[in-house]
């Protein structure tokens, strides 16, 4: 197929050609970036927390009437006891925060007491001897906390644990060339000895700005005596619903001087996860929706304009057919024409896509668009163009040679 005649014919349809090319270019630029955002968001959704999320329940408790630290210590011990006796509860512990909770405490972890010379930030989780089994964490080295190592920490007291458990990612970052077990790290003015390493435990935050140290967590052996406490409860397999329905009443029955929100005071971990990623899921839905509709609109636009061109050129098609062109030739003519326009469109669109991405990167701290996205988008739009032009082209190929003799 010679493209010379196709190009010559296109010169007579400058406006239409330009419009389709521009539309393809803009579509490519937008779809590439939208799908890139979708992918980034979905990738975040699928990051593992390192905990066994099934059968897990969290309870947000706030003491009423401002009990003092001693009172809170015994109230908390009583609560843990109450929770343990709820039928279906396998294990429980009290903490300040848990993965995906979107609130907690971050600390600098370093090799010296100098706070400004820390190696990395890390999430600090208050933990006791039941934390590992409740969360289902995998201990890959060392040991768990002992019950007698768990300290009580008054509200504004200073965190300076004698022993800590690190995540493997944090341990690797602190001690890249040697085992971290038994070594001191500094999260306060005094050293804390690493007694255990867990495979993985995500920080509470899903925020992009903290993604760099998302797997850096440190477990500190404390019960924190502040009015607000989170209880993390593991239900026996299959008993999660039972436990969820009964824990609030059980705690209130034991002591009603407390607030556990009736609305979201008791949440399964599935609900925690859903809330944490609502924003990401929403963006993924919106961007995929826009991409799909945009491709449909562009496809429909190509069908519309091509049909018009076919209608306009019925006579010329008839002449060509009368002069010996086969149906196949006519079909190929329109497919080639569309391919040329689409090729010009995707060439501009590829540049636009990268430009848009660079701009978004500057404005919104986005990552660099992979060239795979652009290539994939180019292929998709070329295919879309060919697919869209197929029906009008087939109609054109069915124009009979006798058309050449009509209406002259």
Footprint on this chain of other proteins (rule: CB under 8 A): 15-16, 19-20, 22-23, 26-27, 29-30, 33-34, 37, 62-66, 106, 108, 113-116, 121, 154-158, 188-189, 226-227, 252, 256-259, 261, 278-279, 282-283, 285-287, 290, 293-294, 297-298, 300-301, 304-305, 307-309, 311-312, 360, 363-365, 407
Closest distance to other proteins from the beta carbon of 165 (Å): 22
Closest distance to other proteins from the beta carbon of 371 (Å): 21
Q: Which helix (H) or strand (E) holds 229?
A: strand 228-235
| SS3 track for 103-133 | CCEEEEEECCCCHHHEEEEEEEEEECCCHHH
Closest distance to other proteins from the beta carbon of 257 (Å): 6
Closest distance to other proteins from the beta carbon of 393 (Å): 16
Q: Which helix (H) or strand (E) holds 290?
A: helix 278-312
Comparing C-alpha atoms, which of 312, 301, 232, 241 is closest to residue 61?
Answer: 232
Residue with smaller CB distance to other proteins, 65 or 324: 65
Helices 371-397 and 327-364, interaxial angle, to 10°? 150
Longest CA–CA separation in the chain, Å: 104
Closest distance to other proteins from the beta carbon of 228 (Å): 8
Residue with smaller CB distance to other proteins, 50 or 385: 385
Residue with smaller CB distance to other proteins, 144 or 203: 203
| SS3 track for 301-349 | HHHHHHHHHHHHCHHHHHHHHHCCCCHHHHHHHHHHHHHHHHHHHHHHH
Residue with smaller CB distance to other proteins, 27 or 144: 27
Closest distance to other proteins from the beta carbon of 142 (Å): 27
Residue with smaller CB distance to other proteins, 34 or 141: 34
What radius of gyration do the chain's Cα atoms show?
32
Comparing C-alpha atoms, which of 121, 87, 290 is closest to residue 205?
Answer: 121
Question: In sequence order, which ranges of 11-123 are alpha helices (DSSP H)?
Answer: 14-45, 69-85
The residue count for the chain: 408
DSSP code at position 136? T
Closest distance to other proteins from the beta carbon of 121 (Å): 8
| Contact in structure between 338 and 17 (CB atoms under 8 Å) | no
| Cβ-Cβ contacts under 8 Å for 293 (sequence gap 6 or more) | none
Q: Which token pair is 285?
A: 């839905």
Closest distance to other proteins from the beta carbon of 227 (Å): 8
């Amino acid at each position: 197929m010679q493209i010379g005649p196709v190009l010559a014919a296109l010169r007579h349809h400058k406006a239409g050609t330009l419009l389709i090319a521009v539309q393809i270019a803009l579509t490519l630029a937008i779809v590439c970036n939208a799908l890139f955002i979708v992918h980034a968001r979905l990738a975040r959704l699928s990051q593992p927390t390192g905990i066994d999320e099934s059968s897990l329940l969290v309870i947000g408790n706030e003491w009423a009437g401002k009990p003092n630290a001693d009172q809170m210590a015994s109230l908390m011990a009583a609560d843990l006891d109450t929770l343990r006796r709820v039928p279906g509860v396998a294990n429980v512990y009290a903490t300040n925060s848990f993965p995906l909770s979107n609130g907690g405490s971050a600390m600098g972890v370093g090799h010296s007491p100098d706070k400004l010379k820390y190696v990395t930030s890390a999430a600090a989780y208050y933990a006791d001897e039941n934390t590992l089994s409740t969360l289902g964490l995998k201990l890959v080295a060392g040991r768990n906390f002992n019950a007698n190592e768990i300290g009580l920490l008054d509200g504004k007291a200073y965190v300076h644990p004698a022993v800590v458990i690190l995540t493997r990612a944090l341990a690797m970052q602190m001690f890249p060339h040697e085992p971290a077990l038994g070594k001191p790290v500094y999260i306060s003015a005094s050293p804390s000895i690493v007694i255990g390493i867990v495979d993985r435990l995500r920080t509470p935050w899903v925020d992009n700005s903290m993604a760099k140290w998302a797997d850096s967590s440190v477990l500190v052996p404390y019960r924190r005596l502040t009015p607000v406490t989170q209880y993390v409860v593991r239900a026996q397999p299959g008993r999660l619903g039972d436990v969820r329905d009964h824990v609030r009443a059980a705690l209130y029955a034991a002591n009603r001087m407390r607030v556990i929100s009736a609305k979201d005071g008791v949440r399964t971990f599935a609900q925690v996860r859903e809330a944490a990623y609502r924003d990401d899921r929403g963006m993924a839905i919106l961007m995929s929706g826009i991409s799909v509709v945009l491709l449909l609109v562009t496809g429909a636009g190509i069908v519309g304009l091509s049909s018009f061109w076919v209608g306009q050129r019925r006579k010329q098609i008839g002449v060509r057919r009368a002069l010996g062109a086969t149906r196949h030739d006519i079909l190929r003519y329109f497919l080639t024409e569309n391919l040329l326009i689409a090729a010009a469109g995707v060439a501009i669109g590829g540049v636009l896509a990268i430009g848009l991405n660079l701009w978004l990167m500057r404005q919104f701290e986005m990552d660099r668009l992979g060239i795979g996205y652009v290539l994939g988008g180019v292929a998709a739009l070329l295919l879309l163009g060919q697919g869209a032009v197929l029906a009008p082209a087939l109609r054109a190929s069915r124009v009979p040679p006798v058309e050449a003799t009509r209406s002259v």
